[in-house]
Structure 1
Amino acid sequence: MRNDHLNEDQVEKAANLVFQIYDKCPSRARPRSRSNEIPEWTNLAAVILVDRKPTIICAAVATGVKVMPNDKIKNCGGKILHDCHAETLALRGFNRYLLNESKRLEDDNVYVSTSVERHNGVGEPKYRIRSTLQLYLLVTEIPCGDASMENLGAGKLPNWEFDYKIMGQKMLKGRAYYSELGMIRTKPGRSDSPESLSKSCTDKLLMKQYTSVLLSPTSYVFSPKGAYLRAILVPRSKIIDSAFNRAFRIEERIKGIAKTQYDFDWIGYNTTFKDSKENTKAGGRPCSVSMVYIENESEQVEAITRGMRMGWKAGSEGSISKLSRRKMAELAGEISETVRNKLRYSELKDESTAREQIKWKTRSNLGRWIRTGDDDFQLCQN
């Protein structure tokens, strides 16, 4: 582990800050006891920025354990959030945070951001995360997928035989074939759930070591420099180093591709998240509502259900989350002329760019990476 990380006291301070913010969020966006008195639980993730003082900025907090079926997201026009797992929403929230900061810098010549600065690199996007800051992801549960196999029972449950002839090139659902480690897995984990093709949080985080945490629209506004995770902060009692090494270390899972200089570490913390599964009495059920907090939004908290903002008529303008593909692309287009000149969302994923090429190469080396259904749409033109 690098010696320039947060120390134990700083890690606990960061965790406490995240949970304090969560506790102040509206109760409608958090787990509750249902009418039959069955309690709910959820997972939480947060993106924090830390400087050398250290000053801790909690940019985004999210909860969630749900994902939309693949057949529900095809051709939805970028209006529905596909993946509402906490880690994915927190990273999307952080991208929204970055775009908000850059938009304010565009509009206000005297504004000084504590986290974003103008970037003077020739031929590169005009903004970057301040070079003094390090980026961390805090989670309250081991990311779903390969990193969590031991926690879910691998090595304890029957060693089911994995039939490659039957499976072919299919991906594994989250809880299938516990004995097969180092595999790409999809959400949700239950075998009787509708297929989503959304990759596990482990697999998505593994990819971030090559592509940065920037989403496609944000990558036209921000340089990837400084946009890589330094570490994941994880409950100390849940860390199994061998599982993390296998799941996240490039040389373990990706053969034939150069090791990246941006691989992240993992650091344990002790602070307890009160709404976690283990802190909910037996018989508790996962909360169907996801929550996103973004530090610099005028309306800081969104409650999300079925991929849309809760409390709005499905399909209405008000139901579209700020984190949706459509809203993120619209905001990026207000800042970047390159985005404004694109006709369709699919053009933001230009396969000729270095970012898309490394994504393709990494996925190819991982194998069994099947893309989710197309959700292309026309971008608003000025």
Structure 2
Amino acid sequence: MALSMSADAIAACVLAAFEALPAKRKPRPRGDGTREWVPLSGIVLSDAIRAFNRFLIEECADLAASGLRPSAFLRHREEGEITRAEHQPFTIKESVQIHMYSSEAPCGDASMELVMDAQDDATPWPVPPPSSEDLDQPPAGLRGRANFSLLGHVRLKPSRTDAPPTLSKSCTDKLALAETASLLSSVTSLLVSPRNAYLSTLVLPAAQYVPTAIARAFGPSGRMAGITPEMITRWGTGGSGYRFQPFEVRPVVQEFAYSRRSFEISQTPVPSNISAVYTPKFQETLIGGVLQGRKQFDPRGASRLCRKSMWKAVADVAALLAVPALLGVGREVRYQDVKKLDLLEWRRTVKADVKGESGPLKGWPENKGDDVFGLE
């Protein structure tokens, strides 16, 4: 967190935080001629976007509980700043900029040229001609690396064809959406204004930096040119703090010690199943999305980054603050009801504009049926 940080300093900050982690949170040594690799992403405030949201929620909790304890990152908003559209009791301080380092190019559209280069035959796969019904319809989320010659489209995880399909959007698409809806999640944006919650810089290793792909995926002259002046005017007129804020992408020479490119020729890279979560507030080790040492479907194995845990944390802060507009956050029966709150009206407007038929992220399939859970 600093103004005018160099790309090298941003990368060094994230890499140093990883090096400080205990061995159990790092890829394990092997003696069979293979070596585990893992992608590393870090926001210089905390580690990865969901962890960043959890960190902000816990900063809000500390401020709400103590009243007087200052935060280096957040501040209470003055009564005169509060409006119906920008109702949040907290904001990221104006002096704070948010930077991100990733050891791999974001999956999805920003890495398609890298996918092409990795093919034994880089000739684009043939694409069948569209039917008359398809001519006016955008692809409803291309699957992973399929049809890699189609550029500028929303893509879904996972990229491997042998993995079960999901409706989870690629990292490229999530970051592109964050240029408009901010880095905040729905529940975090109930507490924190989006006004200062936009990414300033994304830092990538030079080997993962393809300028044409970056410009196409994130730049105002690429697919994000679909954000019209009318959209921007509408968001600004609402006074909600939302806007279109492209981030800068910078390359660095240094490589992450556990990247796919940092191993001996005699070693075979294999993906690690360990996920390490680090913020100044807490650390976790996850195996297959579950806390290390817990079994799948054990409620005690849930990460503090899961949606239910984040919602509960926001509800607890809302109860501490006793702000009338926020009191319904913890009483809602289901998570999907929280996302429909009037307080999130402008967030929904921004996302609808960006993902709609005339928006830059058209073809974004919505997740359905996974948000009917409650806090009990």
Q: TM-score range by the shorter chain?
A: 0.7 to 0.9
2:276 aligns to what? Answer: 291
- Bigger radius of gyration, 1 or 2? 2
Cα 1:343/1:283, change in 2 over 3 Å = same
Q: For residue 351 of structure 1, report the CA deviation from its aligned partner.
A: 7.4
* Structure 1 residue identity aligned to 2:18: Y
Letter in 1 for 2:99: Y
Kept in 1, the 8 Å contact 2:39–2:103? The answer is yes
Give a deviation string over 1:83-132, Cα, whole Å, max 9, x none: xxxxxxx1000001001111011111331111110012223110011111
> Aligned partner of 1:161: which letter?
P
Amino acid corresponding to residue 104 of structure 2 in structure 1: E
Residue of structure 2 equivalent to 1:361: 353
Q: CA deviation at 1:338?
A: 4.0
Q: Deviations over 1:317-376 (max 9, x none)?
A: 320100000000000001122422422211222276010121122112222211234222
Distance 1:21 1:363, change over 3 A: same
Cα distance change, pair 5–160 in 1 and its aligned pair in 2 (3 A): farther
Cα drift, residue 234 of structure 1: 1.3
User: How far off its partner does 1:171 sit?
Assistant: 2.2
| Root mean square deviation, CA, Å | 2.3
User: 1 CA distance for matches of 2:222 and 2:164?
Assistant: 30
Question: Which residue number corresponds to residue 96 of structure 2?
Answer: 133
Q: Which residue does the alignment assign to 2:228?
A: 257
Cα distance, 1:231 vs structure 2: 1.5
2:198 equivalent to 1:228: yes
- CA displacement at 1:251 relative to structure 2: 4.4
The answer to whether residue 301 in structure 2 is matched with residue 316 in structure 1 is no
Q: Shift of the alpha carbon at 1:141?
A: 1.0
Q: Within 2, Cα distance between the matches of 1:251 and 1:350?
A: 33
Distance 1:132 1:338, change over 3 A: farther
For the residues of structure 2 that align with 1:346 and 1:316, how far apart are their CA atoms?
Answer: 23
Matched, 1:31 2:27: yes
1:307-346 alignment, distance < 5 Å? 307-336=289-318, 337-346=327-336
User: Share of identical aligned residues, percent?
Assistant: 28
Amino acid corresponding to residue 56 of structure 2 in structure 1: L
Match of 1:345, as an amino acid?
Y
Q: Distance in 2 between matches of 1:233 and 1:139?
A: 6
Between 230-239 and 257-266, the greater mean CA deviation after superposition: 257-266
CA distance in 1, matches of 2:362, 2:55: 33
Q: TM-score, normalised by structure 2?
A: 0.83
Q: Which residue of 2 is the match for residue 197 of structure 1?
A: 167
C-alpha spacing 1:165/1:351, structure 2 compared with 1 (3 Å) = farther
Match of 2:338 in 1: 348
Equivalent positions of 1:107-118 (< 5 A) are 107-118=65-76
Residue 62 of structure 2: aligned partner: 104
Distance in 1 between residues matched to 2:227 and 2:95, nearest whole Å: 33
2:371 is aligned, of 364, 373, 376, to 376
1:95 to 26, 49, 53: 53
The one-letter amino acid paired with 1:122 is I
Range 161-170 or range 128-137, more displaced: 161-170
Gap runs ≥5 in structure 1: 49-58, 62-89
The equivalent residue for 1:74 is none
User: Does the CA contact (< 8 Å) of 2:3 and 2:96 recur in 1?
Assistant: no
Aligned match of 2:108: 145
**Cα distance in structure 2, aligned partners of 1:130 and 1:342:** 30
Report Cα offsets for 1:174-224 as digits up to 9, x if no partner.
211121111111111122221012111001100001100000110100000
Q: What does the per-residue CA deviation read over 1:2-36, in whole Å, with 9 as the maximum and x for residues that have no partner?
A: xx9735xx332232222121112122221123463
Asked if the contact 2:215–2:221 (Cα under 8 Å) also holds between the matched residues in 1, the reply is no
User: Is 38-47 or 258-267 further displaced after alignment?
Assistant: 258-267
User: Cα–Cα, structure 1 residues 16 and 251, in superposed 2: closer, same or farther, change >3 Å?
Assistant: closer
> Which residue pairs with 1:122 in the alignment?
82
- Say whether residues 1:278 and 2:261 are aligned partners: yes
Residue 118 of structure 1 contacts residue 128 of structure 1 at CA under 8 Å; is this kept in 2? yes
Task: Report the CA distance shift for 1:273/1:288 in structure 2 as closer, same or farther (over 3 A).
Answer: same
CA distances 1:132-180 after superposition (whole Å, capped 9, x unpaired): 1111111111101111011122696122222254896442222111211
Question: Could you say which residue in structure 2 is the equivalent of 1:160?
Answer: 125
Structure 2: gaps (5+ residues): 233-242, 319-326
Deviation (angstroms), 1:284: 0.9
CA distance in 2, matches of 1:378, 1:41: 34
Aligned amino acid, residue 82 of structure 2: V
Q: Determine whether 1:242 maps to 2:212.
A: yes
Deviations 1:278-330 (A, max 9, x none): 002342111112111011x2xx2211122221211322332010000000000
Report the TM-score when normalising by structure 1: 0.81
Determine the C-alpha separation between the residues in 1 that align with 2:167 and 2:128.
Answer: 20
| Alignment size in residue pairs | 335
SS of the aligned residue for 1:197 comes to coil
Letter in 1 for 2:311: A
Q: 1:164 to 1:205 in 2, by over 3 A?
A: farther
3-state SS of 1:153 partner: helix
Give the aligned partner of residue 60 of structure 1: 46
Give the conservation status (yes or no) of the 8 Å contact 1:236–1:270: yes
CA drift of 1:256 comes to 5.9
1:257–1:362: 8 Å Cα contact kept in structure 2? no
The CA distance in 1 between the partners of 2:30 and 2:130, in whole Å, is 44
